[in-house]
Structure 1
Amino acid sequence: MMGERRVAQEALFYEFSLDRHVPADHLLRAIDGFVDLSGMREHLRGFYSAIGRPSIDPELMLRMLIVGYCFGIRSERRLCEEVHLNLAYRWFCRLGLEGDVPDHSTFSKNRHGRFRESDLFRQLFEATVRRCIDEGLVGGDGFAVDASLIRAEANRQTYVEGTQSLSADLQTRAVEEYLAVLDDAVFGGATPVEPKRVSPVDPAARYTAAHGGRADFCYSTNYLIDVENAVIVDVEASTAIRQAEVTAAKRMIERAAGHHGLWPRKLIGDTGYGSADMLAWLVHERGIEPHVPVFDKSTRSDGSFERSDFTFDHEDDSYVCPAGKRLRPRNRNFASPRPEADKDGFIRYRARQHDCGSCALKPQCTPILPARKVTRSIHEGARDFARTLAQEDEWITSRRERKKVEMLFAHLKRILRLDRLRLRGPSGARDEFHLAAAAQNLRKLAKISLARQAVTT
C-alpha cells in the first residue's frame, strides 16, 4: 500500500543535538580527539590588539582549514559553503546549528597577516608531530626522505627570459618574497645558474619537466618520515632542483633532532641523496647510516676498465691498475703548490704516460687518451661505507620502506588534491605544505585510533 503524502510542517519546538548526528566512527570525530588548539591561541595573542572590535575566533579558522585539507576542499569559498551545510563539519568547528560561518575573505587577510607572521601553520604541524610521538607512533630508528614536485599557481605559457627581465611594475607579493629568498639555500641560493624561464607572477617557482610530464612551474615539497608508521616528522618547501632538496633534507634532520629529540640510526633515500657531500655529512657529522644508493658516474659503456677494476692503496695513497702500475695524484713536483682536489671535491689519480704507452692492456684501459686517470672523492670513505651497507640484508628492507614516503605523496595529490598550489610565492608554498602535512598526520592518528577501538570492541 502506498504511504500517505507527507507535508512539511513547522514544529513549535525542536530538540536537536549535533553530537548525536555525528557517527561514532566518523573521521572527524576521531581527529577531534587529537586536536588541541589552546596553545595556538596563546601563540597568537601578541599579534592581536588589546582594544577594538573582537575578531573572528582564530581557532574556528584553524578548524575550518583542517577540515578543508583533510577532505581535499581546495577552495576557501567552497569550504565556507561546505561548513555551512555539513553537520559533521559544523560539529568539528564548534559552530552549532545557528553559528555564523566567516566569510572566505577572512582567511586571506589572516593568512597573509598574523598567521604568516607568527608562523602559525608550522606550529600546528609540529603539534601533530608531538602528538604522534606521545601516542607511540614514532619509532625513531629509521627515517626516509624524498621530494615531490607540486605545480605552482602560474601559467606555463606566460614567462619572461631570465630574472633580469622582471620589470619594476611587477612588484607583487610573490616577487617581493622571491627577492627576499635569493640567498636562501633552498630557493634562490640553491644554484648560481639563472633559470631560462621565469614566471612573472611567481618567480621562485622553477620551470621543470623532472616529473616526467610536460614542463611546468613547480615547487618541491620535501618529507622526512618515520618509517615505522609513515608519520611525517618534518616538511620543507624548496625550489624544484636537486641541490635544494638535499639542503632541505639536512635542515629537516637537524630540526627533528633540535625540536623533538629524534636522532635516527639510518636514513633511507634515493640516488639523489647519494652525493659525496651528503653521505659524508650523514656519516661523519651526524653518525647516521646512509641507506642510500651512491651517486656514481664511474661506470663505462664501452667495455673499458671501470674504477672498480683499480685497487686503492691507502698507505701509499695511490691506485694500482690491472697491469700492476700505480696512479698517483702527482707524478712530478711543482714549483708552486697546487690543490689536490678540484672545486667539486675530487682528486685525479694519473698514470705515467710511458707506463700506459707500453702496456698491452691499453686498448682495454684507455684507448683514446695517452694515459689513464681515475677520480676519487675526498669523501670516498663515506661512499665506501654506503656501498658496504648496500650488501647487507637490511638494505632490501630499507628499499621496501622507502615506498612509504612515495605513498604519502600519492595520497597528498590524489586524495587531498594538492597536485597544484593555490597560494603563490615561497611563503604560500610553505603554508600549504605545512597544512597538508598536518592533515596527513591527523588522519594517520585518527585511523590508527579507530583501528584500535575496533580491536578492543
Structure 2
Amino acid sequence: AFGAASEVQPKFTSHSDPASQWTAARKGPAFFSYSDNNLIDMDHGVIVDVEATRSIRQAEVGSTRTMLDRVKARFDLHPERLIADTACGTGPMLGWQVERKTAPHIPVFDKSERTDGTWSRADFGWDAENDQYICPEGQALKQFRRNYSDPNREPTGQGRAKYRALRLTCQACPSKARCCPNMDFRSITREEHEDARQVARDIAKTDQYVISMKLRKKVEMLFAHLKRILGLNRLRLRGPCGANDEFLLATTAQNLRKLAKVLPASQQPRKA
C-alpha cells in the first residue's frame, strides 16, 4: 500500500517521510498524511482491525481486503455484509466481495450516467442468456454477430466488452435523437464485473440498505472521538510502521473505552 498503490507519480514527496501522501482531501491547504482504515463490528461498535495506508483511494480499498483476510485468518470472522463508502464501490472490489459471499452495501462507483438528456446504460436492458443489450425500442446490441469456428476468437467474459447496434437500425430508429444523435450507431461498454455491480445496485433498493447507511454514523462517530477526544490530529512517529503503531494504540484506547462502558463497575462496600 505504500508506493505501489498507484502508478501516478506524486506531486510532492516529503523528505522526512517519503511514504506519506500529499493530499488536499479536506478542500483546504494540502499536507502530508496517512489514512486510518478501520474494520468495525457494526452490531457492537467495536473496531476489529486497523490498517494504516497512504491517503489515496487505491491504497484504502486495498486495505479493506487486507483487513478482511486477516480477520478471517485470526478470528475466523466472515461478515455477512460490508458497509463502506463509494471508494470501495469499484468493479473489482465488488466482484471480490460477491465471490466471498459478502453482501456489498456500498454505493456503486459508476460514471455511465449521461447528463445531456440521452439514454444512459441503465436505460438498456441486459439479456444474459443471449449476451446482448436491449434498447428501449426493442433492438439488440451485440458484441459479435457471427459464429467463429475458432474457439479462441469467441468472447471470454473477461475484461471490457463493447456491444454495438446495427447502423441501419439506428439510422431508421425514431428515437435516434434521444439515443445517439452524434453517432451513426449506439454502442455500450460492459465492464468485467458488471454482474457484481448490478448486485450492489439491487441491494441499494432494499430497506436493509437504508438501515446500513444509517449505521455508518457509528463509523463517523469513532473517527470524531479519535480526533476530538483522543487528540490524534497529528502523528508523532514517522514512516508506515510508526503510523500503524499510533493508529493501533489509538484503536486499542477506543475499544477499552467501549469496554469500560459495557462492563459494570465493581461495588465496594462503604465503611461505617
With structure 1 as the length reference, what TM-score do the two structures score? 0.55
Q: Which residue pairs with 1:407 in the alignment? A: 221
Q: Which amino acid aligns with 2:170?
A: C
Q: Which amino acid aligns with 1:370?
A: D
Question: Residue 341 of structure 1 contacts residue 348 of structure 1 at CA under 8 Å; is this kept in 2?
Answer: no
Give the deviation of 1:378 after TM superposition: 2.0
Q: Which residue pairs with 2:97 in the alignment? A: 282
Pairing 1:181-196 to 2, within 5 Å after superposition: 186-196=1-11
Of residues 31, 44, 48, the one that matches 1:233 is 48
Q: Which amino acid aligns with 1:324?
A: G
Q: Which residue pairs with 1:217 in the alignment? A: 32
Q: Which residue pairs with 2:270 in the alignment? A: none
Q: Which residue pairs with 1:199 in the alignment? A: 14
* Distance change >3 Å, CA 201–CA 384, structure 1 → 2: same
Give the deviation of 1:381 after TM superposition: 1.8
Question: Residue 389 of structure 1 contacts residue 395 of structure 1 at CA under 8 Å; is this kept in 2?
Answer: yes
Give the deviation of 1:341 after TM superposition: 7.0
- Cα distance in structure 1, aligned partners of 2:57 and 2:27: 15
Residue 144 (structure 2) pairs with residue 330 (structure 1): yes
Of residues 154, 163, 176, the one that matches 1:362 is 176
Q: Which amino acid aligns with 2:34?
A: Y
Give the deviation of 1:212 after TM superposition: 2.6
- Cα distance in structure 2, aligned partners of 1:204 and 1:400: 34
Give the deviation of 1:211 after TM superposition: 2.6
Q: Which residue pairs with 1:437 in the alignment? A: 251
Question: Residue 206 of structure 1 contacts residue 219 of structure 1 at CA under 8 Å; is this kept in 2?
Answer: yes
Between the two proteins, what is the percent identity of the paired residues?
Answer: 51
Aligned residues: 265
Structure with higher Rg: it is: 1
Of residues 236, 239, 250, the one that matches 1:422 is 236
Q: Which residue pairs with 1:388 in the alignment? A: 202
Question: Residue 209 of structure 1 contacts residue 216 of structure 1 at CA under 8 Å; is this kept in 2?
Answer: yes
Give the deviation of 1:225 after TM superposition: 0.2
* Distance change >3 Å, CA 210–CA 190, structure 1 → 2: same
- Cα distance in structure 2, aligned partners of 1:369 and 1:453: 76
Of residues 318, 321, 328, the one that matches 2:135 is 321
Q: Which range moves more in the overlay, 208-217 or 305-314? A: 208-217
- Cα distance in structure 2, aligned partners of 1:283 and 1:351: 31
Post-superposition CA distance 1:244-291 (Å, at most 9, x none): 11110011011111111211111111111111111111111x111111
Give the deviation of 1:354 after TM superposition: 2.2
More relative contact order, 1 or 2 (CA 8 Å, 6+ apart): 1
Q: Which residue pairs with 1:69 in the alignment? A: none
Secondary structure, aligned partner of 2:60: helix
Q: Which range moves more in the overlay, 416-425 or 379-388? A: 379-388
Q: Which range moves more in the overlay, 310-319 or 212-221? A: 212-221
Unaligned 5+ runs, structure 1: 1-185
- Cα distance in structure 2, aligned partners of 1:346 and 1:219: 33
With structure 2 as the length reference, what TM-score do the two structures score? 0.91
Residue 165 (structure 2) pairs with residue 347 (structure 1): no
- Cα distance in structure 1, aligned partners of 2:4 and 2:129: 39
Q: Which residue pairs with 1:243 in the alignment? A: 58
